[in-house]
């Protein structure tokens, strides 16, 4: 392991990007023509953009998101427009809920519109990627179960006994009883219609990292149920318009992480960071469904590369982090924001590059 870590180097140049205007975690982001867009999460309804090619790089505030503050939304650029999918926020009655709506942002007019389009299931903890002009969504929590949990908490008010009972009831189930989404949905922006595009032969996850290149997309780790991660890696192969699901060797074993970061640099598949509960997998396998009860959330510094059909630990982040934004930039993995130990939101960015299986980390 020491040898693998020595393969990584830390670049000492100027900061990758200027600090985000606010500490930024649990939001979403996308990149289009070298301009980065980030918003929601700890930024509330705010959105910002940054031209990465500008001589004087700075974040510029955009029109506020009209759907209220959201966490765990996803976003994607298609044909010059930014689409934002779902997320978790407050409804008109002030209750926390999962949304299944779609908003579109037009960069030319700096304006938002809510589309008359709803996914057939809630979108939170899901992933989104673009292939052949369509957005694809998979994974995420079950809308009915998640919304019901927060309805119960709202009714409990400040009754700690009732809250403890609700939490025990919510977390003390097997993974399959949470019905995480294992369907693959496609969204066609030209018709604003959702379609069935397939389903995983295994199980759905929440908070997975996603990256795609050409006809292949990878879903890495994530939650198998609330508080329990998986070390699984799934590959979706669209080659020949005949979707195939493959399962690759696991990573971050045995416990796995959620909220990690994934990207590609010089054809090397990268997986970094994430958060999880060490010992939760063993607890679950020993029959304890509330597997993370009493465990402290830990944040991974590991950087893994997929090489010759297996994962190699090939470097480390300067500090563990999770739940930021992963974007492709300069043939590298760009990480913006995230949270570190204790859930603290950060404002910096990290760039991970790979050349000849050597990892370079620029802070």
DSSP state of 122: -
User: Structurally, how many domains does the chain consist of?
Assistant: 1
Find the CATH number of the domain harbouring 267: 2.120.10.80
> Residue 308: which domain range?
2-362
Residue carrying structure tokens 């990465």: 52
Give 307's strand partners: 310
> Distance between CA atoms of 203 and 232, rounded to whole angstroms?
10
Q: Is 223 a catalytic residue?
A: yes
> Distance between CA atoms of 304 and 65, rounded to whole angstroms?
35
Report pTM: 0.95
List 71, 223, 316, 339, catalytic entry? 223
| Alpha helices, H only, the chain | 2-6, 143-156, 160-171, 280-285
Question: What distance separates the 2 farthest-apart alpha carbons in the chain?
Answer: 58
Burial string for 105-128 (b: 16+ CB within 10 Å, else e) reads bebeeeebeeeebebebbbbbbbb
Q: What is the pLDDT along the chain (363 residues), one digit of tens a residue?
A: 333 333 455 554 568 999 999 999 999 999 999 999 999 999 999 999 999 999 999 999 999 999 999 999 999 999 999 999 999 999 999 999 999 999 999 999 999 999 999 999 999 999 999 999 999 999 999 999 999 999 999 999 999 999 999 999 999 999 999 999 999 999 999 999 999 999 999 999 999 999 999 999 999 999 999 999 999 999 999 999 789 999 999 999 999 999 999 999 999 999 999 999 999 999 999 999 999 999 999 999 999 999 889 999 999 999 999 999 999 999 999 999 999 999 999 999 999 999 999 999 999
The answer to whether 291 and 277 have CB atoms below 8 angstroms apart is yes
> Distance between CA atoms of 25 and 15, rounded to whole angstroms?
19
3-state secondary structure of 319: coil
């Amino acid at each position: 392991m020491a040898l693998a870590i020595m393969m990584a180097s830390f670049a000492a140049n100027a900061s990758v990007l200027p600090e985000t205007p606010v500490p930024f975690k649990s939001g979403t982001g996308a990149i289009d023509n070298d301009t980065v867009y980030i918003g929601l999460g700890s930024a509330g309804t705010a959105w910002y953009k940054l031209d990465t090619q500008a001589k004087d790089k700075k974040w510029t505030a955009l029109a506020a998101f009209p759907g209220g503050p959201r966490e765990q939304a996803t976003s994607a650029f298609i044909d010059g427009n930014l689409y934002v999918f779902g997320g978790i926020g407050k409804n008109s009655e002030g209750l926390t809920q999962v949304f299944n709506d779609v908003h579109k942002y037009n960069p030319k007019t700096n304006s938002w519109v809510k589309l008359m389009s709803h996914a057939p299931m809630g979108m939170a903890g899901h992933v989104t990627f673009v292939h052949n002009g369509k957005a694809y969504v998979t994974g995420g929590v079950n809308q009915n179960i998640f919304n019901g949990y927060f309805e119960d908490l709202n009714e409990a008010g400040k009754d700690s006994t009732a809250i403890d009972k609700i939490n025990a009831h919510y977390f003390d189930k097997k993974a399959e009883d949470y019905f995480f989404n294992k369907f693959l949905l496609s969204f066609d922006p030209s018709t604003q219609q959702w379609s069935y595009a397939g389903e995983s032969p295994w199980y759905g996850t929440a908070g997975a990292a996603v990256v795609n290149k050409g006809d292949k997309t990878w879903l890495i780790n994530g939650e198998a149920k609330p508080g329990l991660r998986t070390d699984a890696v799934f590959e979706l192969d669209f080659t020949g318009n005949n979707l195939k699901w493959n399962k690759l060797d696991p990573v971050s074993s045995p416990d796995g992480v959620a909220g990690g970061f994934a990207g590609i640099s010089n054809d090397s598949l990268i997986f970094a960071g994430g958060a999880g509960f060490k010992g939760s997998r063993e607890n679950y396998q020993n029959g304890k469904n509330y597997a993370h009860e009493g465990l402290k959330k830990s944040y991974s510094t590991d950087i893994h590369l997929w090489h010759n059909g297996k994962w190699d630990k090939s470097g480390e982040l300067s500090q563990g982090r999770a739940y930021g934004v992963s974007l492709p930039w300069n043939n590298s993995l760009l990480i913006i924001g995230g949270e570190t130990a204790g859930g603290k939101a950060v404002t910096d960015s990290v760039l991970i590059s790979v050349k000849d299986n050597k990892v370079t980390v620029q802070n």
